[in-house]
Homo-oligomer: A and B are copies of this chain.
């Protein structure tokens, strides 16, 4: 038997994927604080405890959603960094705009990916860690390269520099998605200021 979604069979056929899809939609629509397993099950048309056969608990579901978010973001970041016709500085510019743009466009997903719901209570799945950790590791590697190119200060320790530059993007992203910077209309200008502060002009 194929995946007979939407048929009136007792077994759903592809419940795990359907749950992930619906949960991702609901997350974007109503925010993480309004995402409940019961409403999710209802939306998919299944009983309230059915999801427990595919996810150990709510946390595992959230981790699985976040995992997809990281994959999506990595894809976007890679495509920016792969542009060979751009100068290093321009690539960094676009990376910054891309990072904060991703957060602004997917605020609830960003909150889930980098929020305390998952990381504070050490609740991250191994599988999520495997996808998420390279994200920061890569930031360190790139920072080292940018330092070697003279794009960023060589006076600072690479790890600290990476932490501070990532921290800056993260901080601006959070101020936006948490409603503290209520006005989204100056995002680009903030990104430009950020780049100006961290990145030197270099000849290539």
Contacts and interface: CB of A to CB of B under 8 A. Distances in A.
Given A114-B178, A163-B190, A164-B168, A196 B156 contact: yes
- Interface majority SS (helix, strand, loop, mixed), chain A: helix
A153 B193 CA distance: 10
Contacts of A121: 179
A122 to B, nearest CB: 7
A174 to B, nearest CB: 6
A interface residue count range (under 10 / 10 to 19 / 20 to 34 / 35 or more):
35 or more
Contacts of A64: none
A111 B197 CA distance: 27
Given A116-B111, A190-B164, A170 B174 contact: yes
Given A155-B196, A167-B168, A193-B160, A180 B111 contact: no
Contact of A197 (B114, B153, B186): B153
A164 B168 CA distance: 7
Interface string A33-57: 0000000000000000000000000
A201 interface: no
Nearest to A122: B179
Interface in A161-204: 161, 163-164, 166-175, 177-181, 186, 189-190, 192-194, 196-198
A155 to B, nearest CB: 7
Contacts of A114: 178, 180
Nearest to A169: B171
B119 A179 contact: yes
B172 A115 contact: no
Contacts of A111: 116
A105 interface: no
14 contacts: A115-B178, A116-B178, A116-B179, A119-B178, A153-B196, A157-B193, A160-B189, A160-B193, A163-B175, A163-B190, A167-B190, A171-B172, A171-B173, A197-B198
